[in-house]
A and B are shown apart, each in its own frame.
Chain A
Amino acid sequence: MAAEQTKIIKDGLWTNNVALVQLLGLCPLLAVTGSFINGLGLGLATMMTLILSNTCVSLIRHWTRPEVRIPIFVLIIASIVTSIELAMNAWFHELYLVLGIFIPLIVTNCSIIARAEAFASRNTVFDSALDGFMMGLGFLLVLVTLGSLREIIGQGSLFANAHLMFGESARSVELTLGESYPGFLLAILPPGAFIGLGLLIALKNTIDRRSKQKQAVKLTGSQPASA
């Protein structure tokens, strides 16, 4: 039993990561990761959606019919995303303004319907919620990493605009590389997002290969390298 949950966790965060392995949801991934806060905001919204949609789909999995299951999943996901959009507009208004069109576009993130169809419609509610959480977390971590890298390289700052999410007191957490940093335009522009994501995928593959080689050499059941 516990082994199954461990597998779900590992799948979501690493082995079957939405952004690095499945390469789903690239449109929002590449578009909003200009800064740490944008990445975090969209990541949290997507994670919320994944948890809720997986839970709902799993709850009703015995009542749907195969012919109409996809329209039903779409209905569920669309309702959830619209509700999240309204809630963000109400309680995180400024962040909502920054993320703009990408909140409603979560509906079109293929990873959500993919998890509903491939996992939640066949597994228990608890496992599905956990899968939604872990898949969402895996996506969020990539968004945040890419956002941080692009923000540091492109603008020489980190955690800029943190007050959009954490209130006025968070204004002071912004770090800068010093006023003299000239900025690197490419990193902020869309090509920077592609290059950044490519490098992250390459890094993941390298780590995977290294740990495989190590295992082959040692033949002891060592855990994947902590890198």
Chain B
Amino acid sequence: MNLHRQVTTTAVLLMLFAATGAALVGLTHDTTADTILHNEKLTLLRKLNTLVPADKYDNDLLDDTIKVAANDLLGTSEVSTVYRARKQDQPVAVVLSPVAPGGYNGSIELLVGIYADGTLAGVRVVKHRETPGLGDAVEVSRSDWILGFTGKSLNNPAEKRWKVKRDGGDFDQFTGATITPRAVVKAVHTALVYFNKHQKMLFARLEPAANKPADTAPTDTTVTTQTPEHGS
């Protein structure tokens, strides 16, 4: 009997602490959830704006998105999001999220902004595990190398010059690190090829008015994206 009582008190005690802890976390979550969501949107938008400047478009970049299926040209194995910029309903640019598979230390995730005329608005590295001090020069905070893509397109430089200098191309490699820039150059190039192939689909609007709630948009477009896959 005494033992029973002891076990019950202990269990109740633990339960009380668990409940209090959960309440504390729940309360903090409630107070911070909106700010966190806002922060994440802002961070993403700021990142996108470094590729496509805010004064070049007038739509809501974060709302006007489509999901595209995994594609070899993008190096993706999952559905990825494409952000679309428009001005007065005319297509201005898209931001793709390709992955460069051949980094020195795993995949390198990129953001590639492409204007409607096929020139590059800019490229940024989102995530990588390259060697600090050598391969991480692809980060914009470490060197200007990645800015060199801006203004380039499929024909500028010509197809076979889309390589690092060591391979007979136009792009610099880094001292002591060729693999990283080679992977990035290749991924940017194939992203441009992808854009060229699927341009219509990438800018396609679900409906002209676009006053449909944003949350239903992605499901519809995922279907659309599968068609152009074998077209053109």
Partner of B133, one of A64, A71, A97, A185: A185
At the interface with chain A, which of B18-26, B62-70, B159-167, B214-222?
A: B18-26
Query: In the complex, what distance in Å separates the CA atom of A75 from the CA atom of B163?
Result: 55
Minimum Cβ distance to chain A for residue B141 (Å): 9
At the interface with chain A, which of B6-14, B50-58, B147-155, B193-201?
A: B6-14
Minimum Cβ distance to chain A for residue B9 (Å): 7
A90 within 8 A of B: yes
* A80-101 interface (Cβ within 8 A of B): 80, 82-83, 86-87, 89-91, 93-94, 97
Residues of A within 8 A of B132 (CB): 185, 188-189
Contact-size category for B:
20 to 34
Residues of B within 8 A of A80 (CB): 24
A79 within 8 A of B: yes
User: Interface centre among B9, B18, B36, by most A CB within 10 Å?
Assistant: B36
* Contact of A68 with B36 in the complex, beta carbons under 8 Å: no
Query: In the complex, what distance in Å separates the CA atom of A68 from the CA atom of B132?
Result: 45
Residues of A within 8 A of B20 (CB): 79
* Contact of A90 with B17 in the complex, beta carbons under 8 Å: no
Residues of A within 8 A of B134 (CB): 185
* Contact of B28 with A86 in the complex, beta carbons under 8 Å: yes
Minimum Cβ distance to chain B for residue A127 (Å): 22
Query: In the complex, what distance in Å separates the CA atom of A63 from the CA atom of B13?
Result: 9
B88 within 8 A of A: no
Partner of A188, one of B21, B35, B133: B133
Minimum Cβ distance to chain B for residue A93 (Å): 4
* Contact of B36 with A90 in the complex, beta carbons under 8 Å: yes
Query: In the complex, what distance in Å separates the CA atom of A185 from the CA atom of B39?
Result: 33
Q: A97-B43, A188-B133 are in contact. Are A71 and B36 (CB under 8 A)?
A: no
Query: In the complex, what distance in Å separates the CA atom of A116 from the CA atom of B42?
Result: 39
* Contact of A83 with B43 in the complex, beta carbons under 8 Å: no
B87 within 8 A of A: no
User: Interface centre among A60, A75, A183, by most B CB within 10 Å?
Assistant: A75
Q: A79-B24, A83-B24 are in contact. Are A94 and B43 (CB under 8 A)?
A: yes
Residues of B within 8 A of A75 (CB): 14, 17-18, 21
Chain B contact residues, CB within 8 Å of chain A: 9-10, 13-14, 17-18, 20-22, 24-25, 28-29, 31-32, 35-36, 39-40, 42-43, 132-134
Interchain residue pairs A-B with the least CB separation, the first 10: A79-B21, A90-B32, A90-B35, A93-B39, A185-B133, A83-B28, A86-B32, A75-B21, A79-B24, A86-B28
New A-B pairs, 14, CB < 8 Å, besides A86-B36, A185-B133: A68-B13, A75-B18, A78-B21, A79-B21, A79-B25, A83-B25, A83-B28, A86-B32, A89-B36, A90-B35, A93-B39, A93-B40, A93-B43, A94-B43
Chain A contact residues, CB within 8 Å of chain B: 60, 63-65, 67-68, 71-72, 75-76, 78-80, 82-83, 86-87, 89-91, 93-94, 97, 154, 183, 185, 188-189
